[in-house]
Amino acid sequence: VQLQASGGGLVQPGGSLRLSCAVSGFKFDDYAIGWFRQAPGKEREGLSCISGLNGKTFYADSVKGRVSASSDNAKNTVFLHMNNLKPEDSAIYYCAAIEEFRIGYYCFIGQFYNYWGQGTQVTVSS
CA dihedral over 60, 64, 68, 70, signed as positive or negative: positive
Mean confidence (pLDDT) of the chain: 95
| Interatomic CA distance for residues 16 and 85, integer angstroms | 6
What pLDDT, on the 0 to 100 scale, is given for residue 104?
Answer: 86
What pLDDT, on the 0 to 100 scale, is given for residue 3?
Answer: 96
Give the mean pLDDT of 43-51.
Answer: 96
Q: Nearest-CA neighbor of 52 among 67, 74, 36?
A: 74
What pLDDT, on the 0 to 100 scale, is given for residue 69?
Answer: 97
What pLDDT, on the 0 to 100 scale, is given for residue 125?
Answer: 96
What pLDDT, on the 0 to 100 scale, is given for residue 105?
Answer: 84
What pLDDT, on the 0 to 100 scale, is given for residue 28?
Answer: 86
| pLDDT, tens digit (0-9, with 9 covering 90-100), for 63-115 | 999 999 999 989 999 999 999 999 999 999 999 999 999 998 899 999 999 99
What pLDDT, on the 0 to 100 scale, is given for residue 1?
Answer: 87
What pLDDT, on the 0 to 100 scale, is given for residue 11?
Answer: 97
What pLDDT, on the 0 to 100 scale, is given for residue 26?
Answer: 87
